[in-house]
A and B are shown apart, each in its own frame.
Chain A
């Protein structure tokens, strides 16, 4: 088929059609597939490992649900997050009061997550609403919150930590080795949409 229209006119036509199709497709998509048109992603923040302080220090900086003599995880208002090891995560999990947030995709969350962790996929359109709701629950903003994704090069937990930090949570702790390490430790996991 011969075309007498210049290339840029036809290319612009393809682009306009693509924009329209994307707009319609995104408008009818469910929350797991929908995206905000303007992304709010930031580069991975440099997270320094947090050094838990044992014993007496715990009393000076009380952590939510921390038993006497337990390690303290003090807030770090100067940075969005701090990395913690698997041992520290197990210790925080044993307190049963520390919120665990799963930053991976909801579909991955359904396949298996830390028992009790809540889905907070940083890539899905409803993450900001979930953070607002989490804030509205009245969670102590300086108490530890554990965020995890798939370990290794996964940046999702850092991105979620940045979002939490922006609304005022200053004690977000990143499970550096993530879900694979949790499974390797034979710790409790759950499948499905519920924590």
Chain B
């Protein structure tokens, strides 16, 4: 079972899926930095002076790390960085969900769909589950490439 999970065939495909997700999400946010800054501010977790810098850099970090993972360049580090980002996203959503504050995910930039608070809270739960799934993909890459670090 562990051998199949660590197979290169599977790992390459997992790399592709995880990389594609982050590249698409990053590009959507790069298209509208003020909109993403707005979403970050809504979370209420980042100090005001840092909101803009985060809105400018985070999408590019997603894209660059995603491209590196897709091309297999420093893929363990790329998978780790994306894993750390996913843990941060899950924590940010969970904190707001715990306190009952509905926020738009902002994962793919600004949502133009009109939503009720109940819709947002439901969506937050789904996004947390999705991010846990993506975190498992990052974990598969790290598991399959663990020998690379020892080499």
Interface residues of A (CB under 8 A from B): 1-5, 7, 10-11, 13-15, 17-19, 21-23, 25-26, 29, 32-43, 105, 121, 123-125, 153, 155-156
Contact = CB atoms under 8 A, between A and B. Distances in A.
Interface in B16-54: 30-35, 37-38, 41-42, 48-53
Nearest to A19: B57
Contacts of A41: 41, 48, 51
A11 B117 CA distance: 37
Contacts, number: 108
Given A38-B52, A41-B51, 11 more contacts: A1-B75, A4-B151, A5-B74, A14-B61, A14-B81, A18-B60, A18-B61, A22-B57, A26-B33, A39-B52, A125-B34
Interface residues of B, number: 42
Interface in B62-100: 63-65, 68, 72-78, 80-81
Q: Interface of chain A, helix or strand or loop or mixed? A: loop
Nearest to A3: B74
B48 A10 contact: no
Contacts of B77: 3, 5, 7, 10-11, 14
B121 interface: no
B64 A14 contact: yes
B73 A37 contact: no
A19 B60 CA distance: 8
